[in-house]
Amino acid sequence: MIYKIGIIEFKTNKYIINKRIFDFVDINEILEKQSKINNKYTMIWFCDLSKEELWRTGYLFKLNIKDKMFFSTPFENIKNALDTSNVDNQFVYLNNMDYSLNIIINIISKVYGFNGKEDTLSKSFVFEENSVDNFLNDILYRSHQEEVFCMREEVNDLITIKKNGLIYAENTLENVNIPKRKYVILSKSDIKSKGENWLFETEQRYLINITSKKIKDKFISIENLLNSNDYIYDGVKRKERNWITDIEYKYLQQFFSINYNSLVLFDSVDENFKKSINIIKPSNLSYFSTIFTIIAENYALALQEQFKVNKTSKLVSIKSTFISAFEKKQLIILSCLLESKGFKIYSYGRNSIKIVNNENVDKDELLNNVSKFGYYIF
């Protein structure tokens, strides 16, 4: 299947398809133009509306249209990065977006495989996944968590900080160790018999069953960041997240007194994972490329996604659980630092920390704090 990207900017009532920019008043004009496209292509439309706005307008039912966050980088940020407009051509950014985003889809299709029916680019990557037994899958499902929401109320005005997408992919994927599928189950007494410090000193990967934990008094001020880590969501249902990886257990011990029951101990590290990493970086200039930073970031995010078995069932891979946990370790430490300096954290995960924006936020101070760790305001 060959995909072609078209871009719709509702803000200016313009769209581009086949390198030509058109004005429109009604969505049906775009539908009519799409009907004349060579049927060897499957159209995808990228737009500047949110997912909620697309639902409200009903456009999702008329077009294969993706919301402004489809590429993980917002529509407006991509537009600004590619905007070389001048007096003679104020909409040259649409030509640049059309060119760049079609390249992105074509590269992903050829290198990884692409499914244009998904609602985010990271879910659109096509990977072959090896399933695990039901017992392990349930544990992986209960330990897997890509994004942590720290506030119950919805906030619309947010500041996002991120790493460069290519740096993020390299730092994450090249530094995490993924275990093989073979495992044994250890009881609490088995764990105790290995010695007091074994849980911290062992290099073997594990998943541990947490029965209770109590935050230490000196960390109560950041309890909202840490306790939000305790739940996963299955649709709208909140489930207790009572299994965590060794990565998380080792750093959460700094903040909590933790009681545990048993653990799943993996036999060895999968050395083939590092060999299989396929980050596209033609040259060192790729760090400054909108195309290659978007591809790299979404490739790393794709490896953290749950994958569908059928319409009602999802599986979680071992690598998605451990990559997510590794990334979250970096983000939770920085989130705690920012919260202690008076910034209000809304969420963290998927290469971003979202901070509540208000009149008291000093963006220069924020940038000064996060740039030390390789993050920037996005």
Average pLDDT over residues 145-156: 87
Q: Which of 240, 264, 82, 296 is nearest to 190 (CA)?
A: 264
| Whether the predicted pLDDT of 130 surpasses 80 | no
Cβ neighbours of residue 64 under 8 Å, at least 6 residues apart?
42, 43, 44, 45, 116, 117
Predicted local confidence at residue 311, as pLDDT: 54
Q: Confidence band (pLDDT; 50, 70, 90) for 85?
A: confident
Q: Which of 146, 371, 160, 166 is nearest to 277 (CA)?
A: 166
Average pLDDT over residues 196-205: 95
- For the chain, give the number of residues: 378
Q: Confidence band (pLDDT; 50, 70, 90) for 236?
A: low
Predicted local confidence at residue 97, as pLDDT: 97
Strand arrangement, sheet containing 65-66: 20-23, 14-17, 2-9, 41-47, 65-66
Predicted local confidence at residue 364, as pLDDT: 95
Query: Would you say 94 and 9 are in contact if contact means Cβ atoms under 8 Å apart?
Result: yes
Average pLDDT over residues 101-119: 97
Cβ neighbours of residue 299 under 8 Å, at least 6 residues apart?
112, 125, 169, 278, 279, 280
In sequence order, the β-bridge partners of residue 256 are 215
Q: Which two structure tokens, joined as six digits, stand for 336?
A: 């705690």
Phi, psi of 372 (to 5 degrees): -65, -25
Range from 185-189, 237-241, 294-298, 333-337 carrying the lowest mean pLDDT: 237-241
| Whether the predicted pLDDT of 227 surpasses 80 | no
Q: Which of 21, 55, 41 is nearest to 9 (CA)?
A: 21
pLDDT > 90: what percent of the chain? Answer: 77
Q: Confidence band (pLDDT; 50, 70, 90) for 308?
A: low
Query: Would you say 207 and 139 are in contact if contact means Cβ atoms under 8 Å apart?
Result: yes
Query: Would you say 213 and 243 are in contact if contact means Cβ atoms under 8 Å apart?
Result: no
Q: What confidence tens digit (pLDDT) does each residue in 310-328 have?
A: 555 677 899 999 999 999 9
pTM of the model: 0.94
Predicted local confidence at residue 243, as pLDDT: 94
Average pLDDT over residues 169-187: 97
Q: Which two structure tokens, joined as six digits, stand for 171?
A: 């730092």
- The domain locations on the chain are 2-124, 134-377
Going along 104-248, which residue ranges are E strands? 147-149, 158-162, 183-186, 206-215, 231-234, 237-240, 243-245
Measured CA to CA, the distance from residue 293 to residue 282 in angstroms comes to 11
Q: What confidence tens digit (pLDDT) does each residue in 212-224 have?
A: 999 999 999 888 8
Residue with tokens 């790299």: 296
Predicted local confidence at residue 235, as pLDDT: 60
Predicted local confidence at residue 378, as pLDDT: 86
- Mean pLDDT (the chain, rounded): 92
Phi, psi of 160 (to 5 degrees): -110, 130
| Whether the predicted pLDDT of 300 surpasses 80 | yes
Q: Confidence band (pLDDT; 50, 70, 90) for 228?
A: low
Q: What confidence tens digit (pLDDT) does each residue in 244-284 have?
A: 999 999 999 999 999 999 999 999 999 999 999 999 999 99
Measured CA to CA, the distance from residue 291 to residue 94 in angstroms comes to 15
Predicted local confidence at residue 105, as pLDDT: 98
